[in-house]
Amino acid sequence: MLDLLDLAFLITAFVTLFVVIDPVGTAPVFLALTQGMSSARRRAIAIRSCLIAAILLALFGVAGEDFLRFIGISMPAFQIAGGILLFLTALDMLFDRRARRRADHASDDPARTEADDPSVFPLAMPLIAGPGAMATMVLLIGDAGRGPHAMALVTAVMLVVILLVFLAFLSSALIERLLRRTGTMVLTRLFGLLLAALSVQFVLNGANAIGLLPPTAGQF
């Protein structure tokens, strides 16, 4: 039975994770990355990316900060690396390289098809389980006392948010049917640009955290 303190914490944790993971904002990116794929393949990618992201966030919430510290990686370094990798994906979207690769894969070679699978990168990480979401898991569990009860509460809230991400991904097929090919191509370029800006923001956040830039640089 949850008491009032637990309920208040759950509401706070849900709002925080919802804003950081942004299920609504990830749906158009999913649509752009899976443009032209069949409904079955798109659904499989949605399931796989959400499951991987949920596992990553749960593991990181429990032991991620200690693990990074153990191998000598700081959270700012993690942010910068994730931003650079995300920027490369944004370039693919802007210049339609992913669509061209899918045309080249028309031979249905399974090995080549798997190479164009965005479920692990960039969907699961860093779009869903990004540095911000991972850090939020650590902070929320720390605020709640880092005990088994705190870990269970935060993990349950995270799973609810991931479920909302999955539902948003499934709705992207309807969006594609409404937009048709021209609208989808326009949306792909637009969100490629926004994804590039998001990746730069990751890098700026990491650089600010280690003092490479003035405190106001990269701030909205």
Give the residue from 116, 88, 91, 86 showing the smallest Cα distance to 101.
116
Show the tokens assigned to 84.
Answer: 């650079």
Contacts of 193 (CB under 8 A, 6+ apart): 90, 94
User: Which of residues 104 and 62 earns the better pLDDT score?
Assistant: 62
Q: Domain residues of the chain, as ranges? A: 25-209
Q: Is residue 99 over pLDDT 80?
A: no
Distance between CA atoms of 149 and 218, rounded to whole angstroms?
37
**How far is C-alpha 67 from the chain's CA centre?**
20
Distance between CA atoms of 154 and 144, rounded to whole angstroms?
9
What local confidence, expressed as pLDDT, does residue 3 receive?
64
Residue with token string 């509460």 = 153
Distance between CA atoms of 16 and 145, rounded to whole angstroms?
17
Element (H, E) at 180: helix 148-209
Provide the 8-state DSSP code for 106.
G
Q: Is residue 148 over pLDDT 90?
A: no
What local confidence, expressed as pLDDT, does residue 69 receive?
79
* Average pLDDT score over residue span 186-206: 78
- Determine the number of helices (DSSP H) and then strands (DSSP E) in the chain: 9, 0
What local confidence, expressed as pLDDT, does residue 110 receive?
46
Percent of the chain with pLDDT over 90: 19
Distance between CA atoms of 149 and 6, rounded to whole angstroms?
10
Give backbone dihedrals phi and psi of 74, rounded to 5 degrees, phi first.
-90, 160
* Average pLDDT score over residue span 48-52: 96
Distance between CA atoms of 203 and 79, rounded to whole angstroms?
6
Lowest mean pLDDT among 2-6, 52-56, 102-106, 200-204: 102-106
What local confidence, expressed as pLDDT, does residue 58 receive?
94
> Best-predicted range by mean pLDDT among 55-69, 109-123, 134-148?
55-69
Q: What is the pTM of this model?
A: 0.70
What local confidence, expressed as pLDDT, does residue 167 receive?
94
- 113-127 pLDDT tens trace: 455 689 998 899 888
What local confidence, expressed as pLDDT, does residue 184 receive?
67
